[in-house]
Amino acid sequence: MMQLNLINFKAMYLDKAKKEEIFNQYGKSATDTGSAESQIALFTFRIKHLTEHVKANHKDKVTTRSLTQLVGKRRALLDYLYSSEINRYRAIIKELGLRK
């Protein structure tokens, strides 16, 4: 019986190259991991992935809770952008196709 190596198993859907692509597209550069836009884009990618998982596994309450927390984090960042720089908020909402 094959044993699962958990160290190499974590977040296979989101590898280093995909993160750099997201940060390069929505941030200032591929190494810009801290801007609100890049974080919102990363959270959106993870939310879409977890949403598909929850649709297929509706009894997975731990993932449902994690999804809810992630949506809350993204909402907090969007609220921050809305209150501080409305133009950046409107741009990221339009790029990602999010509802208000």
d(Cα 69, Cα 71) in Å, to the nearest integer?
A: 5
Please check the confidence at residue 78 and state whether its pLDDT lies above 60. yes
Cα 22 from Cα 33, distance rounded (Å): 9
pLDDT at 34: 87
Q: Indicate the helix (H) or strand (E) that contains 6.
A: none
Read off the DSSP letter of residue 52: H
Residue 4: predicted pLDDT: 52
Question: CA dist 51 to 20, 44, 47, Å?
Answer: 22, 10, 6
E-assigned strand segments in the chain: none
d(CA 31, CA 23): 7
Question: What domains are there in the chain, each with its CATH number?
Answer: 34-96 (1.10.287.10)
Q: What is the pLDDT of residues 31-52, one digit of tens each?
A: 878 899 999 999 999 999 999 9
Predicted TM-score (pTM) of the model is: 0.83
The reported pLDDT for the residue numbered 100 is: 67
**What pLDDT was estimated at residue 15?**
86
Would you say residue 89 has pLDDT above 80?
yes
The C-alpha atoms of residue 27 and residue 20 are separated, in whole angstroms, by 10
1 or 53, greater pLDDT: 53
The per-residue pLDDT for range 58-76, each reduced to its tens digit, is 999 999 999 999 999 999 9
